[in-house]
Chain A
Amino acid sequence: MDEQLSASTASPDQLPGQPPDRPPDQPSGRERPWRVAALANYFGLLAVLAALVALFSALCDHFLTLQTLATVANQIPDLTVIAVGMTLVMIAGGIDLSVGSVLALGAATLGVAMVQWQWPAWAAATLCVGVGLGCGLANGVITATWSIPSFIVTLGMLEIARGGAYWITDSQTMYIGSRIEGLAAPLPGLGVSVAFLLAVGIVLAGQFILSRTVLGRYLTAIGNNEQVVRYCGINPQPPRIAAFAIAGGLAALGGLFQASRLGSADSNAGVGLELAAIAAVVIGGASLMGGRGSAINSFLGVLIIRVLESGLAQLGATDATKRIVTGGVIVAAVIADACRQRLGDRPLCRTSRRATEPPEADLAPSEG
């Protein structure tokens, strides 16, 4: 990847003698305050989630059962990993509209490799994720090299990847059958699937990247104030490209999870999924302007969206009700988040406005 990175436009900004393997400031003693804030944030979303579960448990006969909860858990790995990728991209101030199509392209590649070429599952899965990484890398490199808004670049990729999925499958649903269902089958005694456990692992890894690694700090800093990052002698393009590449790879991984759950690869899969992912990430408190977000909160956002959907389906709600209620909950969750921020974040906001000061307080993700 480094070849592409060195070709990016921002290299003149990089100060000589400043190795980019350390953030400009790594405040070791500053972790407690934001951790407390993040905990408060978890509680807010957890309360919404608990309220939804309580509501549906009261309204449905069989909502609060292990079976239902396990079913919901096993249905979310695809959206979960996509939301983690979207969080990374959005923290850096970008957006990735292509994730739904890349999911379909990944699943389609998997289906073609397993059904038509008779590849073993591991090889097909590797190819699937590789294709997604490639799409994400293309998104990132194009966005960074020509400084084009990621909105339009990924909108193009949305069409290209969807077309690719139709092309390689001849628009047919590929029935893969039981060879990959092990990934999505509930583990005996546990109820949840391997895919769910992997997705939770990826959420934790995403949170670790954001809060404890150089890459995460850079992404947050870029989203807060890219100019300052450049003044600090950091080339903002490599982290940005990495975020898009990860998002693409995770979208294809979502395709693998979905194909294993459905036993088939559908070239029409994931239409509109990017909006569900963006909604989940924003419900989780991320800012569309960048600089703020958390993988764990995005995961809670995914849970809220999917629990709501599942509960409404169990109620037998009409399409109209489903859409109106879902939209209402998204808006309400974001309003609640905005109110909480206004109450809790005033001092932080004031600090970050002084652009000449290194935005150390803002480097921590998810302080929301």
Chain B
Amino acid sequence: MSNRLALSSAVSLAALALCALLVGCDRSRSPGSQTSPNTQASGPVTTPQIALIMKSLANEFFSTMAEGAKQHQAAHADQYRLLINGIKDERDLARQVGLVEEMIARRVDAIVIAPADSKALVSVLKRAQAVGITVVNIDNKLDDDVLREAGIRIPFVGPDNRAGARMVGEYLAGRLSPGDQVGVLEGIRTAFNAQQRRLGFEDAMNAAGMRIVDSQSAQWELDLGNRVASAMIGEHTGIKALLCSNDSMALGALAAIKAAGRSGQIFIVGFDNIAAIRAAIRDGAVLATADQHADRLAVYGIEYALQQIAVAASPPGSSTADQPALEDRQTPVELITAESLSEPDDSR
């Protein structure tokens, strides 16, 4: 029995040591970490502290975003301190609300947030504004009606997903002829950006006279995208193109078309410009995608928040609530094709 006790305590100790080791490694590498309080911040205590609250940092798009923010902070360490937090699962709303509450309790100067839901985060962000925290919304736009109902304004800094998707769709339409059948793979339908991308694809296809014969959600996922695309091209044998709302689903669709032996007969377009899609675009297996410059997205939000803090600080005695500059800012979306990838200056 004492042997077992010794064994189990040894194992527990080993596990703890391993955890400590992992956390140590994480500090130095950290793209996959959930919480990475910035340790290099060397400025005086008076530098503003900005909390960046993301969706899942396990998602390449958001980890790229966080990485860009970290680099920006490292280059501007004298101007602000950065606290990055993410949730485990894109749909874990409760945890994200909890994160905002924790940041309110910490009395950060600004919260830059990519909301996991367009509506559910509004009331907690209202509380943050009420205690004087600057709030900037990035990536996924908060719902205008809910904001109006709550009686607050939160500026949105981010890309126009609908215009981006329309741009990709128009490029695709140039390769099709009017009346061709196309299918759409959507993201999670409750997500605002998924709705916007679908609408953008539809705008482009309808304008060019294409026929959308099928439009289904594949939940942003590679494997599900593969299976839904297989079913789509199996049922609609005349389909000429698949418009995918993100690159993971586009990779899944690519594998489905290969497996069906119809490589080269069906065009694929995606969205996001993840690393894995670029090889496929260079090979001509995928026609185009859109780049929202994920590495810059959070930085745009942080820069905006810093400006707001500066404005609030400069005229003494004025309250932050009625500053005039609370307007939305649009960030660029770029069309990525085989030609644009071959340009030497485009390696981001």
Contacts and interface: CB of A to CB of B under 8 A. Distances in A.
Nearest to B213: A316
B276 A173 contact: yes
Contacts of A268: 58-59, 221-222, 248
A329 to B, nearest CB: 17
A310 to B, nearest CB: 5
Contacts of A60: 235
A310 B227 contact: yes
A276 to B, nearest CB: 11
Given A71-B260, A319-B217, A262 B251 contact: yes
A217 interface: no
B259 A186 contact: yes
Contacts of A203: none
A264 B248 CA distance: 10
Interface in A188-236: none
Interface in A260-302: 261-264, 266-271
A139 interface: no
Contacts of B258: 181, 185, 263
A340 interface: no
Nearest to B228: A313
Nearest to A78: B223
Prevailing SS type, chain B contact patch: helix
B292 interface: no
A267 B123 CA distance: 33
B4 interface: yes
B274 A172 contact: yes
Contacts of A258: 223
B98 interface: no
A213 B276 CA distance: 45
A313 B41 CA distance: 51
A62 B251 contact: no
Given A62-B234, A310-B227, A319-B217, A171 B279 contact: no
B4 A262 contact: no
Nearest to B219: A319
B279 A175 contact: yes
A146 interface: yes
Contact of B275 (A71, A166, A175): A175
A74 B227 contact: no
A171 B58 contact: yes
A358 B331 CA distance: 73
B315 to A, nearest CB: 43
B259 A74 contact: yes
A145 B8 CA distance: 9
A309 B230 CA distance: 11
Given A264-B251, A266-B248, A268-B221, A313 B276 contact: no
A170 interface: yes
A52 to B, nearest CB: 14
> Interface extent on B, as a size class?
35 or more
Interface in B31-88: 31-32, 57-60, 63
Interface in A305-342: 309-311, 313-319
B252 A262 contact: yes
B218 to A, nearest CB: 9
Given A71-B260, A263-B255, A171 B60 contact: yes
A162 B88 CA distance: 11
A212 B8 CA distance: 37
A67 B260 contact: yes
Nearest to A267: B58
A71 B58 CA distance: 30
A90 interface: no
B254 interface: yes
A9 B63 CA distance: 44
B336 to A, nearest CB: 15
A172 B227 contact: no
Nearest to A167: B32
B70 to A, nearest CB: 13
Contacts of B280: 175
Contact of A313 (B223, B227, B255): B227
Contacts of B63: 170-172
A166 B58 contact: yes
A62 B237 contact: yes
Given A184-B259, A263-B254, A313 B274 contact: no
B234 A67 contact: yes
B231 interface: yes
Given A65-B234, A67-B260, A264-B276, A173 B60 contact: yes
Nearest to A146: B8
A262 B255 contact: yes
Contact of A174 (B215, B216, B256, B276): B276
Contacts of A309: 227
Contacts of A263: 251, 254-255, 258
A310 B247 CA distance: 22
Nearest to A193: B259
A38 B14 CA distance: 47
B60 A172 contact: yes
B324 interface: no
Nearest to A188: B261
A262 B231 contact: no
B329 interface: no
Nearest to B230: A71
A244 interface: no
Contacts of A267: 58
B180 interface: no
B308 to A, nearest CB: 30
B32 A313 contact: no
15 contacts: A71-B256, A75-B226, A75-B227, A166-B58, A171-B32, A172-B63, A175-B251, A175-B277, A262-B255, A263-B255, A267-B58, A271-B221, A309-B227, A313-B228, A313-B230
Task: Give 3 nearest A-B pairs by CB, closest first.
Answer: A313-B231, A175-B276, A314-B235
Given A65-B234, A170-B63, A175-B277, 15 more contacts: A61-B235, A74-B259, A145-B7, A172-B60, A172-B63, A172-B276, A173-B251, A181-B258, A258-B223, A262-B223, A263-B251, A310-B227, A313-B227, A314-B232, A316-B216
